[in-house]
Every structure is written in C-alpha cells, then in structure tokens.
Amino acid sequence: MRNFITTFLAMVAMLIFLHHHLVACLSPEMQRIALLHFKQSLNISIPSFDACYSDSNIASYPKTRNWSMSSDHCTWDGVSCEPKTGDVIGLDLSCSQLEGAILPNSTLFQLSHLRSLNLSQNDFSLSSQIPQEFGSFAKGLTLLDLSATRFTGRVPPGISHLHKLVSLDLGSNDGVELQHEVFKSLLQNLTQLRVLNLKWVNISSTLPMNLSPSLRVLNFQDTGLFGVLPQEVFHLPNLKLLELSFNNLTVILPKGMWGSSRTLQHLVLNVINFHHQGIPDSIGFLDSLATLSLWQCNLSGPIPKSLGNLGQLTKLNLDGNNLNGPILKLLPNLTNLMHLSLSHNNFTGSFPSSFVAHSSELIKLDLSYNGFTGPLPPWLLTSTFHQIILVVYWTSKKFLGLEYLEYLDLSHNSLSVKSTASTVPPQLYILGLSSCNMKEFPHFPKDAEIILDYVDLSNNDIDGGIPQWIGSVHRYLNLSRNRLAGGLEQLPWNNIQYLDLQSNILNGSLPNLICNSSSLEVLNLSHNNLSGILPICQSNLTRLLVFDLRKNNIQGSLPSTLSNFRNLKSLNLHGNKLQGGFPSSFAEFDKLETLDLGSNQINDTFPQCLEALPNLQVLVLKSNKFYGTMNKSSEVEHPFQSLRIIDISYNDFSGPLPVTYFRNFMAMMNGEVNKIKRSYMERQYYSDSTNLVIKGHEIQLNRILTVFTTIDLSKNNFEGKISEYTGNLLSLRFLNLSHNHLTGHIPPSIANLTVLESLDLSSNQLEGEIPGQLTGLYSLALLNLSYNKLRGHIPQGFQFNIFEIDSYVGNLGLCGKPLSKKCGHDNVTEEEDQEEDDDYFFGGFTWEAVVIGYGCGVVPAFIAGYLMLLARKPKWFAGIIARELGLKVRRMEIKWR
C-alpha cells in the first residue's frame, strides 16, 4: 500500500511538471489555436464613440475579424512572431472593438512567449476584475498595456511580479483600485520600468520615495494621491513626462537646479495645491521643456524672467491663477510657442508690441478675463498671423481693426461666435467658421467688393434664408447642417465648384440654373425638403462628379438626359418619390461608380443596361417596384465585373437567382482581399455613402470601404436553388437571400467564403442538412437559417457554438444544441457528453495542446511510464489516461478533417 501511495504521489507530481513543461513548450500550431480560442471568447462591437480616433486620429477596427485557420497566424493583424521559431512574442489588439470578459482560464495566458501585450481601448467590463493570471507572463513580458479597457476591481498582486516590464499602462480605467501594498511592491520590484501610467486608477495613497531612476514617463493624473509630493520626483535623472494633475497633493517646486532639468519635456500639474507660491526662477533650468501646464494651482506673483529661457516651449498654460503685474518683454525667445493661455489672472497694462511677435508657430492665444487695456497690438493685424485662433475678449468679439485680414478660419474648435452682427473684414478670401455655435450669417460692409473663394459655415445653428452675398462665392460653399429654409435662387450657380447644403430644411424645386453650372463638380442637396421634378439638362455638364439628392421629396420620372452628366461618378437619389421606368440612356455612364435609387417608386424590370458599366461598384435598387425575372444570359462577356455591393431587396423580382451575375462578380472573387490596402470611395470634399441592412440592422455607411462587399436579394420572389458559384465569391462579407422561395440544399461551397460575416437564408424552403463545412467560417458573426425545411443534426464547433435558437427556429427537422430537441440517432458516449467540461486540462490548458505539443513532453512521458512499470499496480490509472488520450485524439482528427 505504501508503494502504491508513493507511486501515485510521484505520478501526480510528474503530471504537474508535465503540465508546466507543456505550457512552456506550447507549439506554434497550438499557439494559433489558443489565439483563435481567445478571439472566440470575445465579441466585436462597434462603439458609438471612437475614443481611439479622438485620442490618436487612428480609427478603431476589428483586427481579429479575419483571423482564420486557413492562414499563418504570424500574418494575422496584431500578431508578431519570432522569425525562427514561429512563437507568438507580440500581441497588439489595441482599438480592436473587442467586448466581453477575460477570464482566468482564458487561452490568452497560454501564450508564454509573449514579450509585448497591448489590449488597450477595448471593452472588458464583463470581467469581474483584472485576472491574477497576467502575472504568469513574468518570464519575458516587457510591455503591458491595459489602458482604457473598462476593467474594474483591484489590481492583482501578480502584476508586481512582472520584473522585466519596461512599460506598464493601466490608465483610463476609473473603476480600478490599486491597494497601497501592491502599489509599493510594484514600485520596488519593477526596477527596469521606464513608462508607468496609472491615470484614473484609484490609488488613494501617498507617493513612496523609492522610485526607479529608469522612469521616463510618470502619469498619476486623478489617482487620489495625497500628502506632500516628495522632492525626489523632480530629480529623477531620466524623467521626460510628469503628470500629477487633479490630486490632493501639496507641491513645492525646487528652488535650485532640478535633477531632471536636462530631460524633462512635459510638466503638467493642473489643479494642484501650491499654497499661493510663485513660480520659482528655477523653472528656467528646464532646457528641454516643451509643455508647462499649471492651471488652477493657486499660484501668485509675477511670471519670472527666467521663463523666457525656455526656448523649446510649445505650450504654456497658466490659466486660473492669481498671477499679476504687466506682461514684461521677457518672452521674445519663445519662437516655438503654439499654445499660450493666460486667461483668468490679474495681468494688467497694454499688450507689448514685441510679445510673441517672432513666434510664427502660434495657433492659439487666450488672454481672456484679465485687465488688459488699449487696442489690439499691430503684430496681430499683419497677414503673417492670419491662421491664429484668437480668444481675447477685449471690448467685443467684433473683428475690429482687421480690415486687411484675408484668411480667417476658426472652424472645429471650442470657440463660440455668439454674435456676428457687425461686419467682417471686406478683404476676406477664405472664411471658415464651421462648428462655432453661430446663430446668424456674418455681414459684409455695404457696397463691398466681395472676393470670397472659400466659405464654410457648416454645422452651426443658422436659420432663415440664404443672404445675397452668398451668390458671390467663387469656388467652395458649405452651409450644411444648419436650419436654412427657403429656395435655392441665391446660390452662385455660375461659378461654384463645390456646393454642400445637406441637412437643412430647404424647400422648393431645383432651378434650371443647375444646367448652366459648367464649373460644378460636387452638388450635395441631400436631407432637405426639396420637391418638384429633376431638371432636364440638354447640355453636357462634363465636370459634374457627384449628384446627391437623397432624402428629399423629388417626384416625377428619371429623365433620360441625366446621362448628359457624362463624368458622373456618384448618383444618389435614395429616399425620394421617383416613379416611372428606368432610362436605357444610363448605359452611357462610363465612369459611374455608385448608383443608389433605393426607396423610390420606380416601376420596371431589372436594368440590364447597366451590365456593361466598367466602373460600377455600388448598385442599390432596394424598396422600389421592380419586377420580373433577372437575366439567365447576357450579351456582355463579363457583366457587372466591378460590382461589390448589390442591394435589390424589397422588390418583386421572380424566377431563378441570376446565376450569370454570380459567375461574373469578378470584384467579389479576390481571395487576397485581406492583403489589399484599405481605402474609401471618396473624392475631394465628398465621400460616397449608402444605407444597407447589415446583420439584421439598417445602417448608414457614411464612408464605403473599397474592400466592403455585400449581396442582398431578400424580400423578393426568387425560386430555385442557390448556385454553387456563390462559393467563388471569396471576398464576400454579407449575403442575404432571405424571404424568397428558394429550394434545394445549402451549397457546401459557401464554406469557401472565409471572410463572410453574415449569412441570412431564412424564410425560404431550403431542405436537407446544414453542411458541416460551414463551421470553418471563423469570421461568421450572424447566421439565420430559420423557417426553412432543414433537418438533421446542427453542426457544432467554432463559430457555430455562439449561435442561439433564433438562428434555427422554424425547422422542425433540426435537432441538437442549441435546440432543446435531441437527436435520437446520436451514439454519444459518456465521455463525449462531457467533452465541453473537459475542454481545459489543469486550469485551462486544452487537450489539443497536449496532443500536438507532445514532443516537448517526451522526457516527462518516459518518466511516467517508468514509474507505472515500476509500481506494476495502478494499471487502472494508466488505462484511464490512455483511453482519455485516445478519445481526444480521435475527436481532434474528426474535427480537423
């Protein structure tokens, strides 16, 4: 019995060793599987507000969407590998629109070779806390970024064990708490740390003095720090950024030379208690300082002369203090200054003419709420500073003394132009006041000779009619997103090149003056209340590229003379009341790329005249009265060869699906679509857009990616079978054939569509089994096969594990998960019933990893065999292990066939 116990304990120890050994030696193939499991544990959710773009001008996008077993994981977006071994050493999934929970048994923690892990700007709010398992990367992790991930709860102590970390970013998680002991341990153990960002993390502690001299970035903004700030912080020899704003700290700046004077570039101590101290002369020692921000710090006294020594300074913000005295001639050396804010202080006197006169980089000057007197300084009136954003609040907001100003653009800032009743400079050539909360149009002096070339007053709150002076604008006019009413007679039809009046409440009909606009290139009158009929222009408007009248009340028929716009690339008449037939003259649009006639009342057969258009990429005819069969043959060798988006849903088409078109959608057959550089269908000042049903929801695509592909033939009367040629459309992302009368089987060839994200075949008469090959569609996020005549076992595995009952209801012959109906013919063993429970071995490690990575465990396996042979008794234990491994191997072989 003693031998048995000894042997059993030895085997347990061996298995624990085997587990850790296998994790350390996880093969590249199993690392790929671990990555896929991690992907499948999370959802992709497009945020309503893109914080990534707001912070860094980089739009978020789902990096994991195109991860597939059919490609090398080292080529996946966000994945970096060791070139020689193929081990995953870097994972950057920042701004990837991920949503869900990271649990302790996540396969993410099996990637033991990671050196860099960036999960920032995602949503993991479903996690109860940051998992302790992040500490398992202590072997080699040098960068960990969990910023803006919506984690909550306490930071686990294991984070402080990552002794090789060079950068740790837990910032912008206002629900995270860092206990004092963990905080102290973190600062003691991470001696190689260069970047430490704990912005918004609840620390509620004093700041220890044992900070690593290697620190370069230290961000403790709004962390609840209290007490007196240790002077040692200012003497860190490599410090480049120090951000301590919004804490209950008492700060005393050093009076002598700072230890960080040669390296410090950004000093931000806003809303910190300085107890009515002044700015010390020692500030002038900071030779490398680019940002100095000390607003609302109870500072008093004058600005020290030494501040003029900071020649690298680009931003100076001393708003909201008690600084006083005149502005002395002490800042002429600040030639790199871009932002200067001295508002809400007690500065007095006139503004010196030499002040920042040599700073050609200045773009923001805020001197509001002080005691300045006198006129605007002469240097401000010269054309050198025509792009300045001026917030001075002298005696008015009027543009006094700026009679020589030619360029005024205050657009897209936080300014508020409350009144423009006074006249604006008569020499203006460019006027930009977009997003300035304006209530009325600017005024020009009487009898002024207006030479405006560019006017942008968009996105304001201007109402009423369009004034007479607008008719003098020459090239660019944007009055979109206001509350303008009335007609279009005052517009500069003879001169204008770009005209955007979208999203107003304009009414009346389109003037025939449009036909004489020989310079017009872009006309956007969408989202208004325009009525009447489309003008019949007999002359050729050769320069018009965009004609956008969607969402109005235009009536009548489509005039055949529209084809006179020979260079038209985008024609959008969606959401009007157009009737009648479809002009065959549209076949002359050789350069047309986008045609959207959706949501009208056009009554005709399918427009075969469009087949030969070589550049047509987007065709939307949804929600009209089109009828009849679509062609079975074509006189064109390759019809619709450039088409990527076709939506003819909600019509009365009948007969078989257009197989000829499916065979010739050449633009949807590019299997290398993920390697194409992403771009948008757009031209200067205009982006093509359309409304489509995506994953069951109508979405307005304000910009259309050139890799976006969709086919929507739903809500018609098509019948017959789904063509096998559908499987050739390798770049297709969305396919909707629902609510028709389709019969036959679901083609297994659909499994070839490796980037398919949505498949809707619901409400047809399809029969047979669901092809098991479809489980290989790793990008599939929506599947709807409901209300057909399908039968048999619902396939299991990968994406099919996320689909719920709604995907299959109305198919009385289907059985298996997620339906409650069990399949009577299944020969399921007891072990197979427990497969889901056995997915993880010893804390989340998959059995697939054991099988594929067995090469790393040869020595431990021999040890186990020797111990069992030595004991000669626990044959039952050996049998269990052999049987389990055998079952798992067989299941895996079946799964990967």
Please state, in angstroms and rounded to a whole number, the distance separating the CA atoms of residues 212 and 190. Answer: 8
SS (H, E, C) 244-295: CCCCEEECCCCCCCCCCCCCCCEEECCCCECCCCCCCHHHHHCCCCCEEECC
pLDDT for 80 beyond 50: yes
pLDDT for 844 beyond 60: no
* Residues sharing a CB contact under 8 Å with residue 517, sequence separation 6 or more, in sequence order: 493, 494, 496, 523, 541, 544
DSSP code, position 206:
P
Asked which of 331-335, 429-433, 452-456, 800-804 is least confident by mean pLDDT, the reply is 331-335
Strand stretches in 329-449, DSSP E: 339-341, 346-350, 364-366, 371-373, 389-391, 407-409, 430-432
Q: Binning pLDDT at 50, 70 and 90, where does residue 887 land?
A: very low
* Residues sharing a CB contact under 8 Å with residue 897, sequence separation 6 or more, in sequence order: none
pLDDT for 384 beyond 90: no
- Contact at 8 Å (CB) between 779 and 62? no
Asked which of 108-117, 308-317, 539-548, 886-895 is least confident by mean pLDDT, the reply is 886-895
Residue 536 has a pLDDT of 87
For residues 826 and 705, the model is more confident at 705
pLDDT for 469 beyond 80: yes
* Residues sharing a CB contact under 8 Å with residue 864, sequence separation 6 or more, in sequence order: 11, 14, 15, 18
16: part of which helix (H) or strand (E)?
helix 2-24
For residues 813 and 866, the model is more confident at 813
Mean pLDDT for the chain overall: 81
pLDDT for 301 beyond 80: yes
Would you kindly state where each structural domain of the chain is located, as residue ranges? 1-25+825-897, 605-821
Q: Which of 171, 128, 122, 131 is nearest to 152 (CA)?
A: 128
Residue 155 has a pLDDT of 95
Residue 354 has a pLDDT of 56
* Cα–Cα distance list, 530 to 317, 487, 502, 534 (Å): 49, 9, 11, 10
Q: Binning pLDDT at 50, 70 and 90, where does residue 21 land?
A: very low
Asked which of 306-310, 378-382, 465-469 is least confident by mean pLDDT, the reply is 378-382
String of DSSP letters for 136-178 = GGGGT--EEE-TTS--EEEPPGGGGG-TT-SEEE--S-TEEE-
Q: Report, as an integer, the average pLDDT of 18-45.
A: 79
Q: For 605-821, which CATH class? A: alpha beta
Please state, in angstroms and rounded to a whole number, the distance separating the CA atoms of residues 732 and 666. Answer: 11
pLDDT digits (tens, 9 = 90+) for 309-347: 898 999 999 999 999 887 756 666 787 887 888 888 888
Residue 686 has a pLDDT of 66
Residue 418 has a pLDDT of 54
pLDDT digits (tens, 9 = 90+) for 146-158: 999 999 999 999 9
DSSP code, position 18:
H
- Contact at 8 Å (CB) between 373 and 397? no
Please state, in angstroms and rounded to a whole number, the distance separating the CA atoms of residues 240 and 629. Answer: 70
- Contact at 8 Å (CB) between 664 and 635? no
Q: Report, as an integer, the average pLDDT of 68-78.
A: 92
CA 185-189-195 angle, to 5 degrees, is 100
Which three-class secondary structure state does DSSP give residue 431? strand
pLDDT for 112 beyond 90: yes
CA 70-76-81 angle, to 5 degrees, is 110
Environment class of residue 78 by beta-carbon count within 10 Å: exposed (0-12), middle (13-18) or buried (19+)?
Answer: middle
Q: Report, as an integer, the average pLDDT of 208-223.
A: 93
pLDDT for 199 beyond 90: yes
The proportion of the chain whose per-residue pLDDT surpasses 90, expressed as a percent, equals: 54
pLDDT for 396 beyond 50: no
Structure tokens at 64: 């994991």
pLDDT for 4 beyond 70: no
Residue 695 has a pLDDT of 64
Asked which of 65-79, 133-147, 681-695, 794-808 is least confident by mean pLDDT, the reply is 681-695
Q: Binning pLDDT at 50, 70 and 90, where does residue 721 land?
A: very high
CA 832 to chain CA centroid, nearest Å? 41
Strand stretches in 84-125, DSSP E: 88-92, 98-100, 116-118
Q: Report, as an integer, the average pLDDT of 811-826.
A: 86
Asked which of 50-54, 224-228, 598-602 is least confident by mean pLDDT, the reply is 50-54
pLDDT digits (tens, 9 = 90+) for 178-190: 999 999 999 999 9
pLDDT digits (tens, 9 = 90+) for 656-666: 999 999 998 98
Residues in the chain: 897
Asked which of 46-60, 193-207, 346-360, 477-491 is least confident by mean pLDDT, the reply is 346-360
For residues 871 and 261, the model is more confident at 261
Please state, in angstroms and rounded to a whole number, the distance separating the CA atoms of residues 592 and 110. Answer: 51
pLDDT for 837 beyond 50: no
Q: Binning pLDDT at 50, 70 and 90, where does residue 444 land?
A: confident
Please state, in angstroms and rounded to a whole number, the distance separating the CA atoms of residues 66 and 75. Answer: 11
Structure tokens at 199: 């912005």
Please state, in angstroms and rounded to a whole number, the distance separating the CA atoms of residues 479 and 472. Answer: 14
Q: Report, as an integer, the average pLDDT of 405-432.
A: 64
- Contact at 8 Å (CB) between 611 and 592? no
Please state, in angstroms and rounded to a whole number, the distance separating the CA atoms of residues 502 and 523. Answer: 9
Q: Binning pLDDT at 50, 70 and 90, where does residue 855 land?
A: very low
Which three-class secondary structure state does DSSP give residue 741? strand
Asked which of 248-262, 334-348, 801-815 is least confident by mean pLDDT, the reply is 334-348
Place of tokens 């047809």: 764
Q: Which of 848, 844, 753, 869 is nearest to 797 (CA)?
A: 848
Structure tokens at 751: 């499994």
pLDDT for 561 beyond 90: no
Model pTM greater than 0.85? no
pLDDT for 393 beyond 90: no
Q: Report, as an integer, the average pLDDT of 159-184.
A: 94
Residue 363 has a pLDDT of 65
Please state, in angstroms and rounded to a whole number, the distance separating the CA atoms of residues 285 and 103. Answer: 49
CA 304 to chain CA centroid, nearest Å? 45
Residue 894 has a pLDDT of 36
Q: Report, as an integer, the average pLDDT of 30-48.
A: 91
Q: Report, as an integer, the average pLDDT of 678-702.
A: 66
Q: Of the spans 87-101, 506-520, 797-811, 844-858, which averages the highest pLDDT?
A: 87-101
pLDDT digits (tens, 9 = 90+) for 472-493: 898 999 999 999 999 998 888 8
Q: Which of 504, 561, 496 is nearest to 530 (CA)?
A: 504
Q: Report, as an integer, the average pLDDT of 609-619.
A: 93
Q: Of the spans 109-118, 662-671, 840-849, which averages the highest pLDDT?
A: 109-118
The pairing of strands 734-736 and 710-712 is: parallel
Residue 397 has a pLDDT of 73
